[in-house]
């Protein structure tokens, strides 16, 4: 079998389906300026993980990630519930407190659904994560998958 060269494929394409001729040259590209916050280099390692968060009956806890301003995460979590609305979820971020000075907190979402997915670009250095509260008798297991530039916080 004789090898087919790329230039032969172009000619074959032109003959079979009429996909252009030599007089139709592609237009030059029009360069668009890079807008703010479209691309940036990372100063940290990219991480990803899947975490199982166990909530005993009527228990609450905060699952924390450390992010610097401008770091981002992509995440998805879900829980199997015996009754809708038993899981309170608050996705938020807060600064680390120093002495008696008050910290700041920002809530990204609050709901009682059994699932959430999204992205976050951290608006400030601090702790970002989920406060989860089980409102029922049965144990709830939340499975969180997250990827991006973050640190695990105990």
CATH (domain of 62): 2.60.120.380
Find the mean pLDDT for residues 98-110: 92
- Classify residue 2: in a domain, yes or no: no
- Classify residue 103: in a domain, yes or no: yes
Lowest mean pLDDT among 32-36, 73-77, 96-100, 134-138: 96-100
Domain that holds residue 76: 47-153
Q: Global pTM? A: 0.76
- Classify residue 110: in a domain, yes or no: yes
pLDDT class of 12 with cuts at 50, 70, 90: very low
- Classify residue 3: in a domain, yes or no: no
Cβ atoms of 127 and 153 within 8 Å: the answer is yes
Q: Give the chain's domain count.
A: 1
- Classify residue 71: in a domain, yes or no: yes
Alpha helices in the chain (DSSP H): 6-17
Predicted pLDDT of residue 82 = 84
- Classify residue 16: in a domain, yes or no: no
- Classify residue 10: in a domain, yes or no: no
Cβ atoms of 136 and 112 within 8 Å: the answer is no
């Amino acid at each position: 079998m004789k090898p087919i060269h790329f230039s032969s494929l172009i000619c074959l394409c032109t003959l079979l389906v009429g996909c252009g001729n030599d007089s139709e040259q592609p237009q030059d590209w029009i360069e668009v300026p890079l807008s703010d916050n479209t691309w940036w280099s990372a100063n940290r390692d990219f991480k990803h993980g899947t975490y199982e968060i166990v909530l005993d009956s009527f228990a609450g806890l905060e699952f924390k990630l450390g992010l610097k301003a401008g770091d981002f995460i992509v995440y998805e979590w879900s829980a199997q519930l015996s009754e809708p609305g038993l899981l309170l979820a608050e996705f938020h971020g807060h600064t680390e407190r120093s002495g008696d000075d008050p910290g700041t907190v920002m809530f990204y979402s609050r709901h009682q659904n059994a699932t959430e997915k999204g992205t976050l670009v951290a608006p400030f250095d601090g702790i970002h994560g989920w406060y989860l509260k089980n409102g029922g008798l049965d144990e709830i297991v939340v499975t969180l998958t997250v990827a991006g530039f973050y640190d695990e916080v105990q």
